[in-house]
Structure formats: structure tokens, C-alpha cells
Amino acid sequence: QSALTQPPSASGSPGQSVTISCTGTRSDVGGYNYVSWYQQHPGKAPKLMIYEVSKRPSGVPDRFSGSKSGNTASLTVSGLQAEDEADYYCSSYTGSNILGVFGGGTKLTVL
């Protein structure tokens, strides 16, 4: 069982917006701004999409945005494109473990 809870799947049509949630506790998501989101295409390495809850690394389209409310973080993909179809993982620091915790991953399907 993953420490952070994500829905196993999400979907949307091209051009639509989709939001993926990541629920933890006050000891991880709710307690720190260390939430990151990673995109992983099949057979490829994870790619950082969002860090510090809502910041985008250089080169990541502004269609990707992050937010947090209480113990739940969210990744929103706006203007869905076919290449956005991938697995998405959230991650958070925890006060008790420098390794941090991952969510179980969400498979995003572009219909």
C-alpha cells in the first residue's frame, strides 16, 4: 500500500482539462511544500513536471500546473494532448524519512 493515495486512472479528450489528486497526511503532503509530480511514459524514466507544489521546471509546458489544499495535492493538465498520455506519480517529503514517499501512480488516458 502506497503512502500517498492517487486514483489509478484518469482520462480526458484532447483539449480538455484533467486533474489528478494525491492525498496524504499532515506528516507529508499537508506538512511540507515538498510535493513533486513526475510523468513517466512506458519504458522511459520518470520526468519531473512539478516541484514545490506548483513550480514548473524549465521546458515543461504551462499546461501543467500544481496546487495543494490541506493534505491533498493536485496536478492539472489543461488542453490535453496525445503526448500527455502517461503515468503520473506524486511524491512528498515526510518528516520522519528523508527518502520521502510516492503515490501509487495514475494512468492518464487521452481519449
Partner 1 sequence: EVQLVESGGGLVQPGGSLRLSCAASGFTFSSFEMNWVRQAPGKGLEWVSYIANRGSSIYYADSVRGRFTISRDNAKNSLYLQMNSLRAEDTAVYYCARRYCSSTACTHDYWGQGTLVTVSS
CB 13, min distance to partner 1, A: 26
How far CA 31 is from CA of 5, 7, 25, 63, 94, in Å, comes to: 16, 21, 8, 26, 8
CB 34, min distance to partner 1, A: 5
* Residue 14 or 26 having the CB closest to partner 1: 26
CB 14, min distance to partner 1, A: 27
* Residue 56 or 77 having the CB closest to partner 1: 56
CB 57, min distance to partner 1, A: 6
Integer-rounded Cα Rg, in Å, for the chain is 13
- Contact in structure between 83 and 77 (CB atoms under 8 Å): no
* Residue 40 or 78 having the CB closest to partner 1: 40
Q: What is the 3-state secondary structure (H, E, C) of 56-74?
A: CCCCCCCCEEEEEECCEEE
Residues lying near partner 1 in the complex (CB under 8 A): 2, 32-34, 36, 38, 44-48, 51-52, 57, 89, 91, 93, 97-105
Distance in angstroms (rounded) separating the CA atoms of residues 68 and 53 = 7
